[in-house]
Structure 1
Amino acid sequence: MWWRSTVATTVSEGGRDADRYRSAQFGLSRLLVRDVRGLRRLIIPSRLRTSVPDWIAAVHAVVEQYAQTSAALSAEFYDAQRDAAGVPGTFTVPVADPPPEGRTEASLRWATKDVWERDPDVATAAQLEPLDVRLEQAERKAELVVQKLVADTGRDTVLEAVRQDRQATAWARSAALGACAFCKMLSSRGAVFAQDTVGFRAHDGCHCAATPVFAGQRFELSPHAREWARLYQEYAAGHSGSQLARFRRALAEHDQYPLPGSF
């Protein structure tokens, strides 16, 4: 397998295998967005009430297909990492189901909530924009929410495998070098033990992934995650209520890797 690790005793959230796996999921997200954009033609401005539900149904079908692929990629990655760790016994990865139709519909209805005509006295600034602008904004929101729905399926596959696998001890968040401050902060905290109930916190458009850690392996933060941890401790820790804002400022001033414009 192209992401099989050659070192079983040490694992990092920023190792070669984790980076390749995250890149594969990112590539899948780009294809997803391409296909969702192609469905935009189903929304007919003069017939929003009837065309938007048809668009939602079509997008859900695409999300379901890509979510299955994301889960399969995650299961393959988990199996490869488990083999590389050399742990005993066999284990079947519990592949997560695609998001239910109701969840996809709710996400897309949120993305399109500003499209509908409103009473000017109660409408927000976004809802008073011309229809073509509102549709463009809705399309962007929809791309972000469906990306999260698909990526969550892959992340849930790894997390549930870690919880069920007796040879798995923890998982770690793998964030890209250009990730947002929120993701860099969580990634710098290192491994989350398997018995912990904490879930994978992700925002719309998040491309972070989960990397499993197995019995006998030693987890090490990558050099860039160690730098993020240092910046957090030096500039943000101990400032209740403003840690993220302070950390974001520290990254902007001292981190060699660029922050995205927003998240």
Structure 2
Amino acid sequence: MATASQVAAYRTAVDDLSVLAINELNNALLALDGVDPRKVRNTLIAAFPELIGPYITTAGELTAVWYEDLRRAALGGTFYATASGEVNAAQVNALVRWGVRPLFGQSDSTALSLIGGGIQKMVAGAGRHTIDANARKDVASTSWARVARPGACKFCTMLAGRGAVYRSKEAAGLVVGSGSDRTGFDEAGKRLSGGIGGGVKASGNQALNSKFHDFCRCVAKPTFYTIGTWTDPRTGREERSLQPIAA
């Protein structure tokens, strides 16, 4: 199941949704050009569910179908996957408040790049969460491999090179870092005080323990297992074991 071409096609579909969502953000920012930054911030927070929410929802629905297809090819039978794709109000609030800092002269980046990175992660995350949630309730035991795109960063390439060794999607997607964890932002988007040693150094713009960094296009691919039998040569007894259906 899940050949390289199938994974590539799935990734492309999710990428297209991310591009469309970021285009919506860009159009909104252009329409709000010259408006007071506070009004821009509040407008984006209020409009986010209607503006970006459909793309997040579609990513979850698309992934649910993909999971069903992968499972059917591996195990046969019928399994109805549940799509994930809710818009988290606290997450949106924090992302927008953090992302509009350039409008207040507090960052050299652009609001489009900062908020757009978060949007891409939300859209891709809806797919990743869908796979994770359904695998957890599925009767088939599952391990995970991280599939990185060609030319991915060293961090993603390193994790992908480990193969299907992860026992959960969180382990396959974990972002690690070093330094102090005392610097960051609260849910309202305000910077927390403190921080030593230069702060946490994580891959991308995300905090320590984020599953995937901004603009990460890795896919956590499930491997389904079935219960098989084998004969122990030492005892002659038949033993049961999990056998992977696909790598």
State which of 31, 36, 45 in structure 2 corresponds to 1:47: 36
Deviations 1:3-26 (A, max 9, x none): xxxxx5xx56xx221121111111
Deviations 1:241-263 (A, max 9, x none): xxxxxxxxxxxxxxxxxxxxxxx
Written as runs of structure 1 = structure 2, the 5 A alignment for 1:12-31 is: 15-31=4-20
- Residues 1:197 and 1:103: Cα distance change in structure 2 (over 3 Å): closer
Structure 2 gap segments, 5+ residues each: 174-210, 227-243
Q: Which has the higher helix share?
A: 1
State which of 62, 65, 90 in structure 2 corresponds to 1:76: 65
Partner SS for 1:154: helix
Letter in 2 for 1:172: A
Q: Does the CA contact (< 8 Å) of 2:37 and 2:100 recur in 1?
A: no
- Residues 1:84 and 1:67: Cα distance change in structure 2 (over 3 Å): same
Q: Which moved more, 1:46-55 or 1:19-28?
A: 46-55
Which residue is equivalent to 1:207? 217
- Residues 1:140 and 1:193: Cα distance change in structure 2 (over 3 Å): closer
Letter in 2 for 1:157: T
Separation in 1 of the partners of 2:8 and 2:38?
43
Separation in 2 of the partners of 1:171 and 1:16?
18
Deviations 1:86-105 (A, max 9, x none): 345x4321321323122112
Q: Which has the higher strand share?
A: 2
- Which structure carries more relative contact order (alpha carbon 8 Å, separation 6+)? 1
Q: Does the CA contact (< 8 Å) of 2:147 and 2:160 recur in 1?
A: yes
Written as runs of structure 1 = structure 2, the 5 A alignment for 1:229-248 is: none
- Residues 1:94 and 1:175: Cα distance change in structure 2 (over 3 Å): same
Shift of 1:138: 1.6
Shift of 1:46: 4.5
Written as runs of structure 1 = structure 2, the 5 A alignment for 1:65-144 is: 65-88=54-77, 90-116=78-104, 126=107, 137-144=110-117
Separation in 1 of the partners of 2:225 and 2:99?
42
Letter in 1 for 2:17: L
Structure 1 gap segments, 5+ residues each: 1-7, 118-123, 127-133, 221-263
Deviations 1:177-223 (A, max 9, x none): 02111211111111255467636320111111222211243554xxx
Equivalences, count = 193
Shift of 1:43: 2.7
CA RMSD of aligned residues (A): 2.4
1:177 pairs with 2:150: yes
- Residues 1:219 and 1:71: Cα distance change in structure 2 (over 3 Å): same
Partner SS for 1:45: coil
- Residues 1:198 and 1:146: Cα distance change in structure 2 (over 3 Å): same
Q: Does the CA contact (< 8 Å) of 1:169 and 1:215 recur in 2?
A: yes
- Residues 1:62 and 1:186: Cα distance change in structure 2 (over 3 Å): farther
Identity of aligned residues (%): 29
Letter in 1 for 2:34: P
**Structure 1 ranges of 4+ moved more than 4 A:** 192-197
Q: Does the CA contact (< 8 Å) of 2:166 and 2:172 recur in 1?
A: no
Which residue is equivalent to 2:50? 61
* TM-score with structure 1 setting the length: 0.66
